[in-house]
Homo-oligomer: A and B are copies of this chain.
Amino acid sequence: MLDFKGLTYPKGFRVATGFANIKTQGPDMLILLADEPVDTCAVFTTNRWKASSVLLAQDSLKKTNNRVQAILVNSGNANAATGKEGAEDTLELISHLAAQLKIDPSLVLMNSTGVIGQRLPIDNMKNEINAMVKHFSTNDTQSPQAILTTDLCTKAYSSSFMCDSSEKDPVKISAIAKGSGMIHPKMATMLSYITTDIFMDFDLLKKIFKECIDTSFHCISVDGDQSTNDSVILMSNPNTENSKILDISDKRASVFKENLANIMKTLAKDIVYDGEGATKFITVKVTGASNYTDAHNVAMTIAKSSLVKTAMFGSDPNWGRIIAAAGSTDVFFDPAKTSLYLQGELVLKNNQSIKNNPKLDKLMQEKNINILLDLGLETTSPCEAECWTCDLSYNYVKINAEYRT
């Protein structure tokens, strides 16, 4: 269902990539441009130490009432903790691009990812912008690469689907992401840009976008650390003869949401597969919680545990670490009512361990590991969550310790 070869942007969007020598190799600049100001939803890092570009983007979205036209991205340098001068650099680059595009600077958002505490090479970047604006394209293979830092793989999908068989036009979604590799000198960061041509009420679009983030990018952890620059941005430019979707009761809204969630979850999982030093992909599912928030909290705590992650690297069915992590949260449950499954095999029921299972050692050798903890609470509301993480390997330490700044 997802199309992986190259990336076709929805009609009304164009991209250009460039090389400003911020990274030692590959394209390191991207401009994503809409034909006119379009509905734009964004979620940014909650880190108090936000990069100036993030603060500025939040201001611009307020000023334009969430209708912007271009996003400028650079990889290789986060332009974070660079003080007043760093903020001025961001502004200068935005103004420069806006002048080239002949649009208001508040219609341009900028994102940066990479090393913290270093100034951007803005003269290089301005020259490159001059070249890039002459080469916009709607079909490209370089945009997913231009936002990478030390990721091993690009992460990009586009999708086309009918929201209703009676409609005239299919809906298109196209999305790229980076993370959680590091950059020189090693930050775990994520960026994602999603474009679509859905014709939808903005408040509804925003609601759906946030819900999809909660069950995708908010469900992954590589090392539990949070960056200063994380941004996920969705732009919608309806070029369609379909009628506008006004509220959630319109079944087309659900179809769109399902497709958007599918793409975002796949990108999120790709980030984990590409996690620093990862040798295993671990799915942590928690069921039988009082509510989704509790289930998510427990699942993420297990997913972040260094002891769980090292055990998984060693293919060790050491489930004591899983319950110790689960119990360390504030979430209410009764250990006496829980069940724990490793690779589908029951290892703990009613707080009592199941006798040694000879199959388990072999199952733990697999690359994909499934942890399922049922908290055993009976509720009517949604009460389960799934999170994804990778193991903690020698290579994680190597990547993060041995390659010097």
Contacts and interface: CB of A to CB of B under 8 A. Distances in A.
Nearest to A308: B225
Given A397-B394, A404-B314, A49 B335 contact: yes
Interface residues of A, number: 70
A320 B80 contact: yes
A164 B371 CA distance: 58
B225 A305 contact: yes
A112 B402 CA distance: 39
A135 to B, nearest CB: 33
A353 B81 contact: yes
A310 interface: yes
Dominant secondary structure of chain A at its interface with chain B:
loop
Contacts of A82: 351-353
A333 B393 CA distance: 35
Copies of this protein in the assembly total 2
Given A225-B305, A335-B81, A48 B316 contact: no
Contact of A81 (B85, B188, B225, B348): B348
A81 B314 contact: no
Nearest to A48: B327
A405 interface: yes
Given A310-B396, A400-B307, A185 B81 contact: no
Interface in A63-114: 78, 80-86
Given A48-B335, A83-B351, A319-B117, A400 B225 contact: no
Contacts of A392: 306, 397, 401
A149 to B, nearest CB: 13
A189 to B, nearest CB: 9
Contact of A318 (B328, B396, B405): B405
Contact of A306 (B306, B332, B398, B405): B306
A328 B187 contact: no
A113 B22 CA distance: 52
Contact of A49 (B311, B323, B352): B323
Given A397-B394, A400-B310, A321 B117 contact: no
A307 B117 CA distance: 16
Contacts of A394: 394, 397-398
